[in-house]
Every structure is written in C-alpha cells, then in structure tokens.
Amino acid sequence: MAEAEPLCPSQADWVEARLRPLRAAQGEGCPAEYCFSNLYLFRAAHDYRLIRDAALPCIVGRTYDGEAHVLPLFDVAAADPSQLAMLVARQGPLYPLSGQTVAGLDTARFVARAVRDDADYVYRTDELCALNGSRLRKKRAQIRQLLDTHRMRCCPLGGVGGASAAASTARDDALRVLDGWMAEKGKAAGEADHVACAAALRAPWLAAHEGWLWYADDRPAGFLLAQRLNAEVMVVRFAKGLAAYAGVFPLMFHALAQRTDAPWINFEQDLGVANFRRAKLAYAPAMLLAKYRVDLRPG
C-alpha cells in the first residue's frame, strides 16, 4: 500500500474527484465529512492522512473518541471483499459509512455499528423555512423579538478568503464574533473548533463555503458558513453568535433555508456534548443520520 501523506491543499482536486461521485450517489444520506475542505480543516484533530493506493485510495485518521479508522475514497460495494478486509485489518474500521453503503456489504465478513454521538442531524429545508410546529414556532418568536429589538442587516461572506477591503472587514468582524463566542463559552484559544473555524474564514482556497455575517445595530452579531454537499444537501459547517443577540441562531438558520434550493440541511453531529445535543434537537430534525463504523466480524 502507498505511503500515508499528511493532508495538504494540493491534494484537494485529487481527493474531490473521488469523493464527488460518492456524495452524489448517497443523496440526503451522505455523511457530512465527505468534502476535502472539511477533512483538511480538521486534519489536526483527527490526524488525517491520505493514502493514494491504486485500488483502495483512502484517508486514515482517528475518530473523536480515539479509534483509528479509514474513510474510503472508493465505492465500497464494488471493492474486492478480500482486499477490503485486509485494509480494515491493517488500518482500522471503515468510517463514516452510510446505511446505504453498509447494506451492500457481506455480513458474514463485516459487522457495522453506529455510535449515537456520530449521528448527523438532518432537517427539511421547507420546515426551517416555515418554522411551524410547537418547537419551531418558538424559534420564529425569537427571530421576531430580535428584529423588534435590533436593526439587523446581513452581508455575504461568499468572498471568504477574498482580497477586497469589504471582504477583509467582514472576515475580521466574523473573527471577532468567533473570539467573543469562545470567551462566552469559557474556551481557551485553540479549543472547540476555534482553529478550524478561523482557518475557514481566512483561507482563500476554501471559497467553496457560502457564508453570511449578521450585524445588529452595526455591530457583528453572528455568522454562518455552509457548504453544498450534493444536489440534495447543504451542510452547516460553522455557526457562531453572541449571547447578547438572542435569536441570531434561528435567524441565520432560517435565512439559510430561504436561500438554498437543497431540500435538506445537515447540521453535522453533536459529539456527545449535551448543549450541542439540546440545541440541535430544538430545531426538530427530520432524521438522525447514523454513520457506521465497519469492522471485521470476529471469528
């Protein structure tokens, strides 16, 4: 097998050429991780490395709970089972795999398990647009209160990494929101997703992100960075808002739902963090998308 390479921007096109058809084939069931930019941003947290094997190219790394794993850059169902078994034996479980992918595996040879903390939260875009139902009506009320209390305006961060003066100002203001959010959460620099989020705002080659920054009375209040996963799904990569502006999160999610033509919005996983879990459940997900770890069946 080829030598493992640390992830670097020059690999983006090579990896994306292999991830793109995998994303397209899985629709709303595609795991949120299947984008090179996201893998690159979290390369340090997961020790991601690329293996350009001719038959079974993959990215190897570690899950948040410390398990070595393999993210395949190939159609798992079409792979030779014996070669696939050798890859798992050598590098660790395949992860993250969708239920659709797992269904095509030989159950006599492989066993799949899902960890609740890994599951992606997936929402219907039209429901986030309408904000109906008991839980979502509360979000609509929060938005109304915010708009009644503050003069809100939105500017695009679509030029993330752009060189214009306006893009630079917006980026600096978004970084100030990020620092304020970190302080409010009692996090030190580098904790949580601080490094990855700051890099997403700064790096010019990450322009695949669509972003918006909201101001309240001309003061930066919150920002959101999202990314198109495939024709069916928009993924929220980063969303940060300041506590002084209650309602800024539902405002940002509602605005994203209004802007995108993707029928589904993925809020990624909660990592088992209680506050994240409560916040994501409060938006009434249509489904929790299980992401499987596939290992060799014992014996």
- For residue 273, give the amino acid letter: V
Listed in sequence order, the residues at least 6 apart from 96 whose beta carbon sits closer than 8 Å to its beta carbon are: 31, 33, 71, 118, 291, 292, 293
- Indicate whether 164 pLDDT > 70: no
Using DSSP bridges, classify how beta strands 94-97 and 287-289 pair: parallel, antiparallel or unpaired: unpaired
The pTM is what?
Answer: 0.95
Instruction: State the chain's mean pLDDT as an integer.
Output: 94
> For residue 208, what pLDDT is reported?
66
Q: What is the pLDDT of residue 165?
A: 66
Confirm if 285 and 135 have CB atoms less than 8 A apart. no
CA distance 281 to 262: 21
Tokens of residue 1, six digits: 């097998």
Per residue in 200-229, pLDDT (tens digit) is: 998 765 556 889 999 999 999 999 999 999
- Distance separating alpha carbons of residues 276 and 41, to the nearest angstrom: 20
d(CA 34, CA 98): 11
pLDDT digits (tens, 9 = 90+) for 256-290: 999 999 999 999 999 999 999 999 999 999 999 99
pLDDT at 223: 97
Distances (CA, A) of 163 to 40, 226, 246, 260, 292: 22, 20, 32, 25, 41
pLDDT per residue as tens digits for the range 66-86: 999 999 999 999 999 999 999
- Of 20, 61, 22, 21, nearest to 41 by C-alpha is 61
| Positive or negative torsion for Cα 185, 187, 193, 194 | positive
Rounded mean pLDDT, 138-161: 89
pLDDT of residue 135: 86
